[in-house]
Amino acid sequence: MPIVVQGLSFSYSKGTPFEKKALDNVSLTINDGEFVGIMGHTGSGKSTFIQHLNGLIKVQEGSVEVNGIRLTNAKRPKPDYKKLRATLGMVFQYPEYQLFDDTVIKDVSFGPKNMGYKKEEAEAMAREALRLVGLDPDEVGAKAPFELSGGQKRRVAIAGVIVMKPKILVLDEPTAGLDPYGKEQILNLILRLKKECSPTVIVISHDMDEITRYANRLIIFGDGKVAFDVPMTELFKHGSELEELGLETPSAVRMANALKARGVDLGEGIVNMDTFTAAVLEKLRQKGEKVEDFNGIDWFGEKNKENAPLSDGVFGEGV
C-alpha cells in the first residue's frame, strides 16, 4: 500500500516566539516499489518530512498514511506505532552514533526483542540481518560496535533497522562522511536491500549524480514545500528549474548537452553515467562500429570479484 501525505504542515516551537515553519502544505503519494530520491537545501524540510513517516514527529496539520496506518493530530484512534515501525524502517543520519549495546548481536536484536520475540528468535533474525548487510555474524556478532570500522558500524546500524524486514526503508543521507568506495558499497547495499528486503526505498541525498544513478523519482524540497517532483526519465527536461533551485544538473545530462551543442545528439532519457554510456555506444553501433554489450559501469572493478561487493567487510573510513 502506498504512502499518502496530504496537506502536511509543521512548525517547530509552535506558539512560541521561536516558531519555525518547517513544512508547508506538503501533499504527495509514494507507491509500492518506488525508489525515491529526496534533495533540497539544508533546512528545506527533508528530515522533518521523513520523520513524520514513522511517527517520530507528531502530525500537527494534514495527514500521513503509511501502508494503511493513518497519522493525524487526532488523539483517537491511537495509531499502532509498533506496526508502523515494523513496516517502515528509518535509518537516520550517521546512524552508527546510535549503536548502544555492548555487542553487535545484542544491538541488532534489540528491535525484535522489543517487539516481543524470544532471545533466540531475535538473535537468529539479527544474524540474518547482518548477513544481508554483508557482514559475517560469526565474525562480528560478539564484537563491541566500537571495535568495527566506520563503514562496518554503519552497516550494523542499518542491520538493526532492516532486522524487522520493513516493507519501506527510509535513509537520511546514508553515504554522508564516507569515501567514494564506502559510498559505492552503501549504495550497492541499498539496491540489494530493495531487491531482497524492502521493496520501497526513500533516500535523502545531497549528491545529484548519486541520486540519478539509483532513484526512479526525484523530489526536491524548497522552503518546506515540494518544489519539484519528477520521474528520473524526465529529469533532462528540467535543467533550468534545477538551476533555479540552486541544484546542479547531473553530470551525464551536462555532457549530453555539451555533445548536442557540437552536433552529436544522443537522444532523450539520459540521466546518469549508465544511460549516457549506453547512448554513446548505441551511437557508435549505428555508425557501424563493433561494440560490446553494455550492462552498467563497474566503478570499482567489483563485478568480477567473487562475492563482491558486499562480503569483504572493507569500507572507507572517515565516519
Ligand X SMILES: Nc1ncnc2c1ncn2[C@@H]1O[C@H](COP(=O)(O)OP(=O)(O)O)[C@@H](O)[C@H]1O
User: According to the binding rule CB under 6 A, does residue 54 interact with ligand X?
Assistant: no
The torsion region of residue 242 among left (phi > 0), alpha (psi -120 to 50) and beta comes to alpha
Nearer to ligand X, 23 or 256 (CB): 23
Q: Is the peptide bond before 77 cis (omega within 30 degrees of 0)?
A: yes
Among the residue ranges 42-50, 61-69, 127-135, 275-283, the one whose residues contact ligand X (CB under 6 A): 42-50
Nearer to Mg ion, 47 or 175 (CB): 47
User: According to the binding rule CB under 6 A, does residue 11 interact with ligand X?
Assistant: no
User: According to the binding rule CB under 6 A, does residue 205 interact with ligand X?
Assistant: no
Nearer to ligand X, 20 or 70 (CB): 20
Q: What is the torsional sign of CA 304, 310, 314, 316?
A: positive
For residue 23, CA distances in Å to 16, 65, 109, 190 come to: 17, 17, 34, 27
In 163-201, alpha helices (H): 180-196
Nearer to Mg ion, 46 or 127 (CB): 46
Residue whose cell numbers read 534545477: 242
Of 163, 173, 137, nearest to 46 by C-alpha is 173
Nearest distance in Å: CB 11, ligand X: 9
Which of 12, 81, 100, 294 is the binder for ligand X (CB under 6 A)? 12
Pick what 43 binds: Mg ion, ligand X, none; C-beta below 5 to 8 Å, kind-dependent.
ligand X
Pick what 188 binds: ligand X, Mg ion, none; C-beta below 5 to 8 Å, kind-dependent.
none
Nearest distance in Å: CB 210, ligand X: 16
Which of 8, 36, 46, 141 is the binder for ligand X (CB under 6 A)? 46
User: According to the binding rule CB under 6 A, does residue 47 interact with ligand X?
Assistant: yes
Contact 113, 74 (CB under 8 A): no
Nearest distance in Å: CB 47, Mg ion: 3
User: According to the binding rule CB under 6 A, does residue 48 interact with ligand X?
Assistant: yes
Of 169, 163, 168, 165, nearest to 125 by C-alpha is 163
Contact 221, 189 (CB under 8 A): no
Of 249, 277, 280, 250, nearest to 265 by C-alpha is 280
Pick what 106 binds: ligand X, Mg ion, none; C-beta below 5 to 8 Å, kind-dependent.
none
In 54-90, alpha helices (H): 81-87
Nearer to Mg ion, 47 or 200 (CB): 47
Q: Is the peptide bond before 309 cis (omega within 30 degrees of 0)?
A: yes
Number of other residues whose CB lies within 10 A of the CB of residue 231: 12
Nearest distance in Å: CB 64, ligand X: 15
User: According to the binding rule CB under 6 A, does residue 37 interact with ligand X?
Assistant: no
Which of 40, 150, 174, 250 is the binder for ligand X (CB under 6 A)? 40
Residue whose cell numbers read 555487542: 103
Contact 225, 25 (CB under 8 A): yes
User: According to the binding rule CB under 6 A, does residue 44 interact with ligand X?
Assistant: yes
User: According to the binding rule CB under 6 A, does residue 22 interact with ligand X?
Assistant: yes
Nearer to ligand X, 56 or 259 (CB): 56
Pairwise CA distance, residues 203 & 189, whole Å: 13
What residues make contact with Mg ion under the rule CB under 5 A?
47
* Contacting positions for ligand X (CB under 6 A): 12-13, 20, 22, 40, 42-48, 221
